[in-house]
Amino acid sequence: MSAEISFIVPESSDGLRLDKVLASPLPESGLRLRRRLCDEGRVRVSDAPRKPGYKVRAGQEILINREQEAVTHSELGVFVVEKTGDFAAVYKPGGVHSAAIEGKDDASVEAVLPDLFDGEVTLLNRLDFLTSGLLLVALNPEAATRYQELEEAGQLRKFYLAEVQGRLDGLATVKNALDTDDRKKTRVLEGDNPDEGRWTGVETLSHDHETRTTLVRCLIKRGARHQIRAHLASIGHPIVGDSLYGSAGNGGLRLHHQRIEFPGFVAEASSPF
C-alpha cells in the first residue's frame, strides 16, 4: 500500500529549511522524525532526495514516502507471557508504544500482534509509553466483549509495581476522583470517587535508604488515564522518573504492570527494576 504524500511548496515557505517545511504536510510529526525521513532518502524534492537542511523554493513538489520496514516483535522486545483459548498477555518494554499513534512513524505492540497470533485479535488495554509490563489481548470477538463485562463488574485486578520518592509505610487507599478530560496531565480532585473500582490501593514492599525511595505495589480494578501516577503524586510520593507528576530521572519511569487476574485468567511479568 502506498503511503506517499505530495506537497507543493507555497510562496510563504520559499527559502526555508526542508525539515521545517515538512511540518505542513506532516502536522503531527516531530522534528526528529522529519529529519530521519530526509536522512533515509524518503523525502524527494523535485524528484531528488534531499537532506534536512536543504533550502526549498516556492513551487517545488515534495514527495514523502511514509512506508517503513516492518519491525518484528522480537526487535521490540515484545513476547507472549500467558495464553489461553480466549485471552493472551504480552510483555511491553518501557519506551514502546502500546498502539499506533495517528500521524506518527513509530512502531507499536499492536502492530506486531499479527506476528504472535493467528486471526483477528484485539488489544484490550494500554500502557503509557514509558511504562513496562502486561498488555492483554482478546483472541476472538466474544472474548473482547467478555473482558468489557468483567471490567464493568469490577472483576479485574491489575497489580503494578512502582518505585516512589520518599518513605511510604504500610497500606493506603487513594480514593480521590480524577479529572482526565482534555488534559495532558490528570488532575486530582478533592472529593472521593464513589466508585471503588476507580480507587488505587497501595502496599509498601520495601525501602531503599540510600536513594530514599519506596517500592510499592498498587492495585486498580478499572483505572483511568494516569490514575496510579496522579494518585501517588497526590499523597506526596510521585513515581521515580515521572517528569509529568514529579521530576525526571536517569533510569526512566519506574512503573511496571506486573500482574493481571480475572476469572479464568492470570498472568504475571517480572519487573525490570
Lowest mean per-residue pLDDT among 104-118, 173-187, 219-233: 104-118
C-alpha 73/C-alpha 125 separation (Å) is 18
**Beta carbons of 127 and 98 less than 8 angstroms apart:** yes
What does the DSSP 8-state code read for residue 97? Answer: B
For residue 12 the three cell numbers come to 510563504
pLDDT, tens digit, for every residue of 92-102?
999 999 998 76
Is residue 183 a part of any domain in this protein?
yes
For residue 94 the three cell numbers come to 518501557
Same-domain check for residues 107 and 154: yes
Q: What is the mean pLDDT of the chain?
A: 93
Q: What per-residue confidence (pLDDT) applies to 3?
A: 66
Q: What per-residue confidence (pLDDT) applies to 251?
A: 78
- 128 given a catalytic annotation: yes
Range of the domain at 208: 73-268
Is residue 273 a part of any domain in this protein?
no
Q: Is 5 exposed, middle or buried (0-12, 13-18, 19+ CB in 10 A)?
A: middle
Is residue 55 a part of any domain in this protein?
yes
| Rounded mean pLDDT, 93-120 | 86
Q: Active site residue: 14, 19, 115, 128, which one?
A: 128
Q: What per-residue confidence (pLDDT) applies to 1?
A: 41
Same-domain check for residues 38 and 172: no
Same-domain check for residues 205 and 90: yes
Last residue of one domain, picked from the residues 49, 65, 81: 65
User: What's the predicted TM-score (pTM) here?
Assistant: 0.76
Same-domain check for residues 243 and 168: yes
Number of structural domains (the chain) is 2
Q: What per-residue confidence (pLDDT) applies to 183?
A: 77
Same-domain check for residues 27 and 129: no
DSSP class per residue in 54-75: PBP-TT-EEEEE---PPPPHHH
C-alpha 93/C-alpha 273 separation (Å) is 12
**Beta carbons of 45 and 5 less than 8 angstroms apart:** no
Same-domain check for residues 111 and 160: yes
DSSP class per residue in 182-200: T-SSPEEEEEEPS-GGG-E
Same-domain check for residues 85 and 189: yes
Q: What per-residue confidence (pLDDT) applies to 28?
A: 64
Last residue of one domain, picked from the residues 48, 65, 82: 65
Q: What per-residue confidence (pLDDT) applies to 256?
A: 99
Same-domain check for residues 167 and 52: no
Tell me which residue of 65, 70, 54 sits closest to 25, measured CA to CA: 65
| Rounded mean pLDDT, 182-194 | 92
In three-state secondary structure terms, 266 is strand
pLDDT, tens digit, for every residue of 45-74?
999 999 999 999 999 999 998 766 567 899
pLDDT, tens digit, for every residue of 246-258?
987 777 899 999 9
Same-domain check for residues 109 and 155: yes
Lowest mean per-residue pLDDT among 58-72, 108-122, 130-144, 223-237: 58-72
Last residue of one domain, picked from the residues 41, 65, 89: 65
Largest interatomic CA distance in the chain: 67
Q: Please tell me which residue, 203 or 183, carries the higher pLDDT value.
A: 203
CATH code for the domain in which residue 249 is found? 3.30.2350.10
| Rounded mean pLDDT, 168-197 | 94
Is residue 14 a part of any domain in this protein?
yes
Is residue 232 a part of any domain in this protein?
yes
Is residue 192 a part of any domain in this protein?
yes
